[in-house]
Structure 1
């Protein structure tokens, strides 16, 4: 706040009191001047006349008694008391009280010696007049009682009261003018500053007649508008920062040089498993990872940036890329350190999956290639001369080549599905009819194991999607169901429309999938029974392709299975 209200009011009262005192002093000065001109000045003139007369008659100490008898003023005791002195000695006097005479004599040192002068003294007026005579300088001193001039003094005091009243009235009017034209604008400006401090910007200054105050009010109005604009910009920046920090997939922690947490975003709280208010708390009391705490302590101590990959176990295992950046006015004087946390668990998992994929793909490709190479070398070594053996080997080579082609085709198909490199051809079609047409291609394969395939649907279901992708999903699921089913079993397909989605299920009565393997069957090249999978001709990529196709169509898939009883895959897809 620029102005203090109470202090300002106190200062205004002090100014008013000072003005009143000055006004009264000025009034007293004018009254004293009036008394001097109206009373003392005539008395001084009269004393001068008497002094000149005494000089003209040739006054001296010897004839003074004769001279004074002829002076009319000295014969009026009710008018004044007089004394004539020479060299401090009384030559003549008519004072009724000797004490007063002695007091008057003592005060002569305060009068100038060479001119007529007067003073207010002893409840009266004293007039001093020098007289030049033949035998030296005499002093004529006259004392007049105030009571002799009481009527005049009463008039003077009345005038003094009137003048004081008029001066006080003028002071009051000036004070009110200052209140209205100076104090009120200042109070309005003061109130505006208080509102600005409270983020209220409704103040609008109305110009008056005082340029200095008007300039101040105008500047405050301009400042208000600028602060309002900057406050809006600051709020917008804070909102953007809050929005960015809240949606950033990067953990951010700002720690002061005293070890207090100044800022932490939701991602960092999630990564560090923090669910309490942490601001202004010590990072050592909040962060549960000793490795991360040691890194922060080292950065605070060395003032050097640090980076590392660490593993957290809060509450589960996570791999975190940690970057710590100290900053401040100088490298030797840091104010805070910025801790950036990035969850690389998925990256690590993808690296593992990629490594496993390369190893599995190499293994899967090496098997048919090894077979082709081995039987080709056998044929070259002389087996071609034995027609039956040669035909058998060539048949194996052809089968392994087909298998190799299937593996490569599935790998390329999985790559296209994961990358969504091929756009979907969306068009309406009837699902039940499509599935019934599709299972005809599996009758020959199913008949070899005496497996029946049935489709259960209460009514036709119209769906708007990529028909080829739907056929691809059922092809893989039906092929798996036949391959992993025992002889003389059945495969059931159920199709049902539920609100705006269609539910599919493909069930078999095969060997089943153990609980421990059910979460991994959709991984690439994952096999529950590796020997049986290869013998069945599978590549280990079918279910991975199915899952990615369903995800691309905004659907879901899950499996229910019991070992020795069978397996059911449940699929849910939107109608459009």
Structure 2
């Protein structure tokens, strides 16, 4: 990338130098055509400037994409290693120690949660790849969206700091039927709720609402976390993009979740917008 920038700027400098030199020579040879030479030269400068600007912007965009891909690979490596290390440790403990049935059951449940986390990540990457190369057909069928959202909430449900109060507060209107791609929409709901949990504090609640209003289906996922700046609200649905600085970010993730959310919702002719929660946090509003 650095070599491309050097070559690009060298060509721009060379073209500008040639323009000045030949313009000088033409003016010396044909004084009576100074106006024409200046107008042609000005047009060339304008075209060259526009070309240089858009080329520079394209190179910068490609450079940022390459950086995001590198960060994505590092994130995926970390995301894979953490649950695998946890599963290995739990299984080794079961193998080497004389544990009670309750302890073994607890360790197995923790291992299954880590496996589900790995499964979600792999499904995300596969779906994102299929969407990107346009090989996914989004097969549609009728199903209960209420049951879908409720099952995902139950699977992702965690207990708060005191060990009893649930972290996800769900208000799900029953018997909401929907025609769409159940697999892809499962990924949408999962990504939205997991994002809300991820960017919230360890004891902060997440609110999930599913309801019908004016003939439309609404899904709201609200958190009380770090929030999203106005400048980043337009970029969070880009592939590999993640909120915050790569140097200071503490949250895990691959940068594919919200990209998948936007692509799937577009295929279902649904809209999504993000707005500030009060006093802190973000609200993602989906309307089918």
TM-score of the two chains, using structure 1 as the length reference: 0.33
Q: Hey, what does 1:403 align to over in structure 2?
A: 117
RMSD: 4.9
Quote the Cα distance in structure 2 between the aligned partners of 1:379 and 1:525: 39
Task: Tell me whether 357-366 or 486-495 shows the greater mean CA deviation.
Answer: 486-495
Quote the Cα distance in structure 1 between the aligned partners of 2:81 and 2:279: 32
Q: Hey, what does 1:476 align to over in structure 2?
A: 191
Q: Hey, what does 1:439 align to over in structure 2?
A: 149
Q: Hey, what does 2:8 align to over in structure 1?
A: none
Q: Hey, what does 2:210 align to over in structure 1?
A: 493
Indicate whether 1:384 and 2:97 are aligned: yes
Quote the Cα distance in structure 1 between the aligned partners of 2:217 and 2:68: 31
CA displacement at 1:470 relative to structure 2: 4.1
Indicate whether 1:560 and 2:275 are aligned: yes
CA displacement at 1:479 relative to structure 2: 5.3
Q: Hey, what does 2:242 align to over in structure 1?
A: 526
Q: Hey, what does 1:350 align to over in structure 2?
A: 65
TM-score of the two chains, using structure 2 as the length reference: 0.58
Quote the Cα distance in structure 1 between the aligned partners of 2:39 and 2:63: 30
Query: Structure 2 vs 1, CA of residues 259 and 504 (structure 1 numbering), >3 Å: closer, same or farther?
Result: farther
Indicate whether 1:359 and 2:74 are aligned: yes
Task: Tell me whether 488-497 or 539-548 shows the greater mean CA deviation.
Answer: 488-497
Query: Structure 2 vs 1, CA of residues 571 and 385 (structure 1 numbering), >3 Å: closer, same or farther?
Result: closer
Query: Structure 2 vs 1, CA of residues 365 and 489 (structure 1 numbering), >3 Å: closer, same or farther?
Result: closer
Quote the Cα distance in structure 2 between the aligned partners of 1:256 and 1:354: 39
Q: Hey, what does 1:225 align to over in structure 2?
A: none
Query: Structure 2 vs 1, CA of residues 402 and 477 (structure 1 numbering), >3 Å: closer, same or farther?
Result: closer
Q: Hey, what does 1:188 align to over in structure 2?
A: none
Which has more radius of gyration?
1
Aligned partners of 2:241 and 2:255 also within 8 Å: yes
Quote the Cα distance in structure 1 between the aligned partners of 2:281 and 2:119: 30
Greater fraction of residues in strand: 1
* Equivalent residue runs for 1:97-176 within 5 Å: none
CA displacement at 1:361 relative to structure 2: 0.8
Q: Aligned residue pairs: how many?
A: 243
Quote the Cα distance in structure 2 between the aligned partners of 1:356 and 1:405: 21
Greater fraction of residues in helix: 2
* Structure 1 spans left out of the alignment, 5+ residues: 1-252, 261-276, 293-311, 321-341
